[in-house]
Amino acid sequence: MRYLPIDPALFIRNRAAFAGAMKPRSVAVFNSNDVAPKSADGVRRFIQQTDTFYLSGIDQEETILLLCPDAPDEKHREILFIRETSDQIATWEGPKHSRDEAREISGIRTVYWTSRFESVFRGLVLASEHIYLNTNEHLRADVTVETRDARFLKWCRDAYPLHRYERSAPILHRLRAMKSGTETALIQTACDITEKAFRRILGFIRPGIWEFEIEAEICHEFLRRRSRGPAYEPIVASGPNACILHYVKNDRQCADGELVLMDFGAEYANYAADLTRTIPVNGRFTPRQRAVYDAVLRVQRAAIPMLRPGNTLKAYHEAVGTLMEGELIRLGLLDAEAVRQQDKAAPLYRTYFMHGTSHHLGLDVHDLGHADRPFEPGMVFTCEPGIYIREEGIGIRIENDVLIRDQETVDLMRSVPVEADEIEALMAG
């Protein structure tokens, strides 16, 4: 792997926490992702299913994790199944994990080849009452493409129709929302790599540059620092493109006098960073651009301390919306009297700030976590207010990643340049 070894204690703790939430006489199964096809005989680079990685640390296809905490034979309470390698596979694809390597990475004592799964599973499941199956229950998930977990669910329910089936997802949403010190350090590494990429492009951007050239510089810096690449499709949006929230074409030439909004983050050891910065293409903000930029920055600086234990996403978003209303009034974009008389269910600030301010961050960019759960120490959120004025061709978003602690919030991107004066100075060289 490109990333440095991770202490297997992380995965041991994660499995113990999941097992502790299971009902008595239960078995749980987690599958790796598929190797995604392209066309003809092409395939895409393998990306592990994040729940499977969270519980095992194994970054390899055709992996299955089985948990059976009440198994009479202690060695079968945790079983890892991995793909059996061969000389032919080693020649064409490279080495795969040996069973000893899988034990060292995961901390799981019992490791079998995947071909043994059905026979081992049958013996354990027939002694169990409950079967925990894993499904993607993220609120924004697109489940059009069938996964290995989804295919296993169909097979399992057909093979063992009289068992009681349970959902793994609610447990994982609760557990994965809380980051351990090891996980926080991995996210911080992803943030640090992302900072290096941002500083690199500050000296590169100029009028006439293409959005994809900026993207190339970002990815270059990621790859040279042990990142597999971007944690999500980078957004490099110049001029009017900055008002397209999920713009990823990155094929426009940046013009003098415009802004370029860049939303990107490195992936490190499967953990994500998520940064947004908006800078002037020619290195100098116009007075209007600077006024809007400073308004967004003021909202972010007031919002970050609100990510504190006991607060909720609903209350937090409402408070940030009130801050944004004041800034939009000062910018002449909203009328104060109209704001006072607005429908609270459809606030006027949504015309210029139409997305949420924060989301969980971790193994997934939009990580797992229940929306109505109060904030707790150990959670990591983004903070990303923005103002988008289509009629002026101005789109500005500023985003940092924040760790909640008992008595403070820790900005994991506190060293990434954000002040307009600092950005202008760095761009000037």
Residues annotated as catalytic (active site), given as ranges: 41, 246, 263, 274, 355, 359, 366, 384, 388, 397, 399
Give backbone dihedrals phi and psi of 407, rounded to 5 degrees, phi first. Answer: -115, 0
Number of other CB atoms surrounding residue 308 within 10 Å: 16
Are 350 and 333 contacting, i.e. CB atoms less than 8 angstroms apart?
no
Residue 91 CB coordination number (10 Å): 8
Residue at token pair 């040279």: 224
The DSSP code sequence of 116-154 is: GHHHHHHHHHTT-SEEEE-----TT----SPPHHHHHHH
Q: Is 394 helix (H, G, I), strand (E, B) or coil?
A: strand
List 401's β-bridge partners, or say none: 382
Measure the CA–CA gap between 235 and 229, rounded to whole angstroms. 14
353 closest CA partner among 375, 374, 331, 369: 331
Tokens of 276: 């947004």
Q: Is the Cβ–Cβ distance between 129 and 69 less than 8 Å?
A: no
The number of angstroms, rounded, from the C-alpha of 287 to the middle of its chain's C-alpha atoms is 35
Query: Distances from the Cα of 396 to the Cαs of 102, 152, 221, 253, 427, in angstroms?
Result: 45, 44, 24, 18, 18
Where does residue 143 rank: exposed (0-12), middle (13-18), buried (19+ CB within 10 A)?
exposed
Helix or strand holding residue 276 (H, E):
strand 275-280
CA 310 from centre of chain? 23
The DSSP annotation for 21-89 comes to HSPSSEEEEEEPPP--B-STT-BPPP---HHHHHHH----SS-EEEE-TT-SSGGGSEEEEE----HHH
Burial 15-51 (b: 16+ CB within 10 A, else e): bebbbeebeeebbbbbbbbbeeeeeeeeeeeebbbbb
* Helix (H/G/I), strand (E/B), else coil: 290: helix
- Per-residue tokens: 102: 């899988």
